[in-house]
Amino acid sequence: MTMVLPPDIELWICSFLRSRLKPFFPTLIVSNREPDDYDGSRPLVVVRDDGGGQSNRVLFDRSVGVTVRYGARAAPKPCRDLAARIYGLLTDPAICSIDGSPIAAVEEDGCNGPYFVAEDANIARCYLTVEFSAIGEFR
């Protein structure tokens, strides 16, 4: 019997964003968690899979949250611009046809942001969410 596992959407999105953004932001960090020693000196993108249901044997609904930290809190435009670029990349329907993409569809009504989030540190922070139908991994 073949098992169908939920896709590792965090891993795929992190790799996808690194490949698309590193040429423009060479010091960019993209991960599924914030590094313990993060000091704000480099742009940071944190991808989190918030899960979701399984719509059929092979399709999974996935809600993904993305946090962007970049630049000074008093001058947040670079952070907002990076977050907007990420939103555009992740909501482009072409993401479904990229080789190796687990994404079958972008669920537009589940996409929100980017918007600013209160931050204690002197680093601008934006947040956005995207929702996908994703193809499971066959084992």
**Residue range 18-42, pLDDT digits in tens:** 999 999 999 999 999 999 999 888 9
Per residue in 74-92, pLDDT (tens digit) is 999 999 999 999 999 999 9
Question: Would you state the structure tokens that stand for residue 90, as one six-digit string?
Answer: 């992740």
Query: Taking residues 1-17, what's their average pLDDT?
Result: 95
Question: Would you state the structure tokens that stand for residue 46, as one six-digit string?
Answer: 């944190």
- CB neighbours of residue 137 within 10 Å: 14
Look at phi and psi of residue 55 and say left if phi exceeds 0, alpha if psi is from -120 to 50, else beta: alpha
Count of domains observed in the chain: 1
Query: Taking residues 107-128, what's their average pLDDT?
Result: 95
- The CATH number covering residue 95 comes to 3.30.2000.10
The pLDDT score that the predictor gives to residue 44 is 98
Could you list the residue range(s) of the whole structural domain that residue 27 is in? 4-138
State the pTM of this model. 0.95
Burial of 28 (0-12, 13-18, 19+ CB in 10 A): middle
